[in-house]
Amino acid sequence: MATVVLGSQWGDEGKGKLVDILCEDIEVCARCAGGNNAGHTIVANGISYDFHILPSGLVNPKCLNLIGTGTVVHIPSFFAELGAIQKKGLDSTDRIFISDRAHLVFDLHQLVDGLEEVELGAGNIGTTRKGIGPTYSTKAARSGIRVYELFNWPEFEKKLRSLHYGYKQRFSDLLQYDVEEELAQYKVYYETLRPYVIDAVPFVTAAFKAGKRVLVEGANALMLDLDYGTYPYVTSSSTGIGGVITGLAISPFNIKNIIGVVKAYTTRVGSGPFPTEQLNETGEHLQSVGREWGVTTGRKRRCGWLDLVIVKYSTAVNHYTSLNLTKLDILDGLKELKIAVAYNFEGQELESFPADLNVLAKVEPVYKTFPGWSTPTTKLAEYSQLPEEAQSYIAFIEEFVGVKVDYIGVGPGREHMLRR
């Protein structure tokens, strides 16, 4: 059976630590969507590893790892990331595979990503410029290139040249790109990539047939989902439970647990409305104490109070069976805490999270206020040791969302995760 870990907000909730803990007891770890546009750091045996496209299950020497069909893969970054963890002593031999149906991200896509952001001007999305959006665009337009196509060189070369031609027609001299250079690079990958490429459908089928314990590692989060997120300020893939099923060809009947990861406050990167954002001392506290800047981009994250309108909406879409509340310790020392429990728009309370961003930009959050706690929660070992105020904060989240909080993060290390 499978356990799925998904982000419930705008990403950066701290999914990596829970995945790291769960990896100790699983046999297959898989990525289902996205590319190297997100990342997290895992500390194992005193060594830090940065993961972007690689599944975190690589830290478990007995775990097989799959980059699934729904992902998009920048091969130079794949090899660079693999080389970095291997240099630190992590043996990945015969443990990491890429679906032959996944789409390739080219340097060409990354250049186009930057040009498209410039085109949008002040209305830019705030992408990582890793080429993810343009790659999914070519996938949807049926002009993309899948991993298996690399091994039919004449056809591969023809398709990459055609892709370049189309973008050159659009951007003209603004596109500074050498197709011959990228083709030469992929001529090398023609040999070096081959051992990693598999047909992922029988791989996944065999894993479940053998009764293996499978962990699906979600990337980004529900509010960045192409369909259910704050479109267009989203990523370009299905980041929710739907993307798990289609991105890996997993039967929904083989999913046992869906764990939603919720930061104890709210953050987001890039543009778009953010109802509980705090552009004040509270926001600065959350940003500095929480070390809120990205592993992938280094960009500072916007910070605000916990928004349970978002988490409840996210739960309705992803059907979480339990929650992991992270970074509770960052709230230590704040005299007063607020949680958004509803949105008012033009004097009326909204039924749910709105699709219309013009509405979202004008909503007034309805807050419930809680007393803070002065006793540090950092590095506590048991849930019962938490201050009463912190336990009340957690209990309210459970009651409002209707899902139990099974894991509580109170520090950066894997040992700082309280289990109930």
Q: Report which of 210, 383, 403 is spatially closest to residue 312, judged by C-alpha positions.
A: 403
Residue 401 contacts residue 323 (beta carbons within 8 Å): yes
User: Residue 248 is encoded by which pair of tokens?
Assistant: 């890996």
Identity at 321, one-letter amino acid code: T
- The neighbour count for residue 256, using CB atoms within 10 Å, is 12
Give the burial class of 346: count Cβ atoms within 10 A of its Cβ; 0-12 exposed, 13-18 middle, 19 or more buried. Answer: exposed
Distance between first and last Cα of the chain: 22
Give ∠ CA 12-65-18 in degrees, rounded to 5: 35
d(C-alpha 20, C-alpha 123), whole Å: 37
Does the annotation mark 307 as catalytic?
Answer: no
Task: State CA 149 to chain mean position distance.
Answer: 27
User: What number of H helices and E strands is found in the chain?
Assistant: 12, 20
Q: Which of 12, 20, 307, 329 is catalytic?
A: 12
d(C-alpha 395, C-alpha 217), whole Å: 27
d(C-alpha 53, C-alpha 363), whole Å: 36
Give the burial class of 67: count Cβ atoms within 10 A of its Cβ; 0-12 exposed, 13-18 middle, 19 or more buried. Answer: buried
d(C-alpha 326, C-alpha 265), whole Å: 9
Task: State CA 73 to chain mean position distance.
Answer: 15
d(C-alpha 88, C-alpha 404), whole Å: 38
Query: Residue 65 forms beta bridges with which residues?
Result: 29, 96
Tell me which long-range contacts 299-303 makes (C-beta under 8 A, separation of at least 24): 299/269, 299/270, 301/12, 301/267, 301/268, 301/269, 302/267, 302/268, 302/269, 302/274, 302/277, 303/265, 303/266, 303/267, 303/277, 303/278
Does the annotation mark 40 as catalytic?
Answer: yes
Q: Which of 20, 25, 40, 113 is catalytic?
A: 40
Residue 258 contacts residue 4 (beta carbons within 8 Å): yes
Catalytic residues: 12, 40
